[in-house]
Amino acid sequence: MTFRLRLRDWLLANDPAFSRLRQASRITATVVISVALLIAFHFIATPLPPAAYGLAITLSIEGGLAVRDRTASEQLVTRILAVVTGVAMVTLASALEGYRHVSDLVFLVVIFVAVYGRVFGQRWFAIGMFAFMSYFTGAYLRPSLDQLPALVLGAGISAAIAHLVRTVLLPDDRYRDLLRAIASVQQRVDEILHGIAAAARRPILRAADRRRLHALEERLKEAVLMAESFIATDTRRPAPEPGDVSADLAIGLFDIHLAAESVIVLSLQAMPPAAVVDAVLAHDAGEMERGMQSLGEANVKQLEAARALLWLHTVRDRLNRSLADLEAADLDEPPPAPSPEPPAATARFSLADPALRSAIQITLASGIAMVFGLMLSRERWFWAVLAAFLVFTNTRSRGDTAVKALQRSAGTLAGIVVGLAAASAIGGTVYIVLPLGAACIFLAFYFLPVSYATMTFFVSVVLSLAYSLLGVLTPQLLELRLEETLVGSVAGAAVAFVVFPTKTRTTLDAAIRNWCDKLSELLEEARRGTSGLDLVSRSQALDRAYRELAAAAKPLGVSWQLVTRPGHVRQTLAVFMGCTYWARIVARKMSQDPESPNDFAAQIEENLKLASKVRETGADYFYRSRSVAAPVERHLPVSRDDAGLGLEMVAVSLERLHSPRVRPAGEERGL
């Protein structure tokens, strides 16, 4: 039982709401059950061709990744369309098998249409992925037209099982997922407290301690954002009241995020006594009080850090009380208000359309990969096209594409080496290969959200095991797969840099503009006197904008740990993170306090001007060679009740981007 609890705690700490675990389990269960049913049909009724298995596995994976409709009925419609599309694509590939050059050109047309269809929404993104993967499967496995019923059976079983797994076996549950996400938030707060306690026992604060605390802060932000996603705050009353449990819970999550960040910031200025931190971890109010009394008033900064710990303890208790009152019905979203029908999506079909540019890029990269892949092998060139297509998926810029191409190549190389060794040791024993393959599929999609290279590694291991089971595994075959993957990855990266290149700088510019817009919206709402949950929601939108900004800056780091690695990029990103934090202070204080927003009109106007200046400068901050100004040490409003300090520190944070030296704000305010 102890091991189970430890495993659960570890999973919650690393996988908020078990979202990665659920996705990997869904895909693995769908693949295993679908293949098992096809095998049973194979031996009981009639033999099935390899293409039926290949199509079932392909659609099972895509059904778990690409089908993201909101309701079960919408998901069912998408799956039915996917089956029709998949069977049609495999049939088309089979019909054109005798006309290889025509088939190759049609494949490029399918790629273009599949990519461009994404402009019409998530459903058509999914259909496009099904179309591409189905044509790929048909061209690679080459089924004959008389095998069409078997293909329909494989596709239909995979879709039906995927839908049952998603809706019955492992369904979405907003209430359960919220409980898990909040448990993950609490776990990550404990990690922060343990890190502070360990640092407080050392004579000096080490650089490693700072990096660890900043990394833990980012992990906490990730968990809070996920927990907030399960609460429909935008449809609730603007001011949380005792009867509005979900709104109280949203405020509680907001407060625990803010309090934990305050503890980190103040502790980096002056570590609180380790005994106080231990008391907070143990939820021992008496020991906390004795620790506070032992501090006295001599060390103001240390006293403020201890007060922040008490604040964190208080908001954790309040969050737990709100959680105890929560029922599943409290999370139900009210029916949407009637609104005019939005205009239907239309294809502009001009080079100014990003969807068209993306379709041209991916089709051209696939065509180049096809040409050079054919030079290597007439039978296996599909691997090159697959790599060229997939390195563009979910990328923002040419830098993103290059990083993903490198990850795919590295993951394939490592997977081939390990897969060849594993397959040689196992010797094609079916009772070992099948469960080991299922485990690798699970691990591949469990790690997909955090490491594309790791996902590619496990998929390569699975393919090596499959080849050993079929008796065709040779070092030469795996070497050819690596070469084809390199061809596709290089083709994708080259096209990303040459054809309609989207520079990292361009993506970063857009992310900074979005962040500045969210900050300006929050300030404008504050100036109008908006209060309650509406103002908090604006702050949450700013927090999400910061996460998008950090993701856009990702290619600027060689090893993506910008928030924990030294350097100019990290320093600049830290300014935006700090400003986001102080804006959260403003939102919380102004949502609570009865003071008139006119008291802060001048400060709000100053911040709006600074935000406009930052918006105009954009990504230049990340590319300038001069140093970013050092952070300004200030006491947080743990023992102050007005929003003025938060507004002042928003301005100070933004000014850090423009000058290497900033006057300590305490000189003006006497703090």
Confidence of residue 562 (pLDDT cuts 50, 70, 90): very low
Q: Which of 298-307, 359-368, 408-417 has the lowest mean pLDDT?
A: 298-307
Contact status, residue 103 vs residue 139, Cβ threshold 8 Å: yes
Query: Over 60: is that where the pLDDT of 560 sits?
Result: no
> What integer pLDDT is reported at residue 436 of this predicted model?
94
Question: In the predicted model, what is the mean pLDDT of the chain?
Answer: 83
Q: Largest Cα–Cα distance in the chain? A: 87
Query: Over 80: is that where the pLDDT of 13 sits?
Result: no
Q: Is residue 532 part of a domain?
A: yes
Q: Is residue 12 part of a domain?
A: no
Amino acid occupying residue 518: K
Q: CA-to-CA distance for 501 and 512, rounded, in angstroms?
A: 19
Q: Which residue has the higher pLDDT, 639 or 225?
A: 225
Q: Are 522 and 536 part of one and the same domain? A: yes
Q: Is residue 252 part of a domain?
A: yes
Q: CA-to-CA distance for 452 and 450, rounded, in angstroms?
A: 7
Q: Is residue 550 part of a domain?
A: yes
| Most confident residue range from 38-47, 536-545, 615-624 | 38-47
Compute the average pLDDT of residues 356-365.
93
Q: Which of 314-318, 399-403, 533-537, 665-669 has the lowest mean pLDDT?
A: 665-669
Q: Are 660 and 578 part of one and the same domain? A: yes
Q: Are 550 and 655 part of one and the same domain? A: yes
Q: Which of 69-83, 170-184, 215-229, 291-305 has the lowest mean pLDDT?
A: 291-305
Q: Are 403 and 447 part of one and the same domain? A: yes
DSSP 575-640: HHHHHHHHHHHHHHHHHH----GGGGHHHHHHHHHHHHHHHHHTTHHHH--SPPPPPPP---TTS-
Confidence of residue 564 (pLDDT cuts 50, 70, 90): very low
> What integer pLDDT is reported at residue 172 of this predicted model?
87
Q: Are 238 and 217 part of one and the same domain? A: yes
> What integer pLDDT is reported at residue 501 of this predicted model?
84
Q: How many CB atoms are closer than 10 A to CB 527?
A: 18
Q: Tell me: the pLDDT tens digits for 476-526?
A: 988 999 999 999 999 999 999 898 888 888 889 999 999 999 999 999 988
Q: Are 216 and 268 part of one and the same domain? A: yes
Q: Which of 298-302, 370-374, 452-456 has the lowest mean pLDDT?
A: 298-302
Contact status, residue 358 vs residue 115, Cβ threshold 8 Å: yes
> What integer pLDDT is reported at residue 152 of this predicted model?
92
Q: In 350-429, which ranges are continuous DSSP H helix?
A: 354-376, 382-390, 398-426
Q: Which of 57-66, 101-110, 309-318, 562-571 has the lowest mean pLDDT?
A: 562-571
Q: Are 103 and 200 part of one and the same domain? A: no
> What integer pLDDT is reported at residue 233 of this predicted model?
55
Q: Which residue has the higher pLDDT, 669 or 195?
A: 195
Q: Are 32 and 61 part of one and the same domain? A: yes
Confidence of residue 134 (pLDDT cuts 50, 70, 90): very high
Q: Are 487 and 519 part of one and the same domain? A: no
> What integer pLDDT is reported at residue 592 of this predicted model?
67
> What integer pLDDT is reported at residue 349 of this predicted model?
66
pTM given for the model: 0.83
Confidence of residue 154 (pLDDT cuts 50, 70, 90): very high
Compute the average pLDDT of residues 9-21.
80
Q: Which residue has the higher pLDDT, 40 or 551?
A: 40
Confidence of residue 297 (pLDDT cuts 50, 70, 90): low
Q: Is residue 418 part of a domain?
A: yes
> What integer pLDDT is reported at residue 259 of this predicted model?
87
Query: Over 50: is that where the pLDDT of 566 sits?
Result: no
Q: CA-to-CA distance for 541 and 519, rounded, in angstroms?
A: 9
Q: Is residue 487 part of a domain?
A: yes
Confidence of residue 159 (pLDDT cuts 50, 70, 90): very high
Please count the structural domains in the chain: 4
Q: Tell me: the pLDDT tens digits for 420-444?
A: 999 888 877 888 999 999 999 999 9
The boundaries of the domain holding residue 179 are 174-326
Q: Which residue has the higher pLDDT, 577 or 43?
A: 43
Q: Tell me: the pLDDT tens digits for 320-338?
A: 888 888 887 777 665 544 4
Q: CA-to-CA distance for 505 and 178, rounded, in angstroms?
A: 36
Q: Which one of 148, 172, 196 terminates a domain?
A: 172
| Most confident residue range from 530-539, 573-582, 642-651 | 573-582
Q: Are 164 and 266 part of one and the same domain? A: no
Q: Are 199 and 129 part of one and the same domain? A: no
CA angle 78, 448, 108 (to 5 degrees): 55
> What integer pLDDT is reported at residue 35 of this predicted model?
94
Confidence of residue 339 (pLDDT cuts 50, 70, 90): very low
Q: Is residue 454 part of a domain?
A: yes
Query: Over 90: is that where the pLDDT of 203 sits?
Result: no
HSE-up of residue 226 (Cα within 13 Å, Cβ side)? 25
Q: Are 294 and 372 part of one and the same domain? A: no
Cα dihedral across residues 184, 189, 190, 191: positive or negative: positive
Q: Which one of 453, 468, 502 terminates a domain?
A: 502
Q: Which one of 463, 479, 502 terminates a domain?
A: 502
Compute the average pLDDT of residues 550-579.
67
Confidence of residue 665 (pLDDT cuts 50, 70, 90): very low
Confidence of residue 1 (pLDDT cuts 50, 70, 90): very low
Kindly state the helix (H) or strand (E) to which residue 154 belongs, with its residue range.
helix 148-164
Q: Is residue 89 part of a domain?
A: yes
Query: Over 80: is that where the pLDDT of 160 sits?
Result: yes
Q: Which residue has the higher pLDDT, 293 or 392?
A: 392
Phi-psi sector, 339: left (phi>0), alpha (psi -120 to 50), beta: beta
Compute the average pLDDT of residues 537-541.
86
Q: Tell me: the pLDDT tens digits for 206-247?
A: 988 988 998 898 889 888 888 888 886 544 434 444 446 677
Q: What percent of the chain has pLDDT over 90?
A: 39
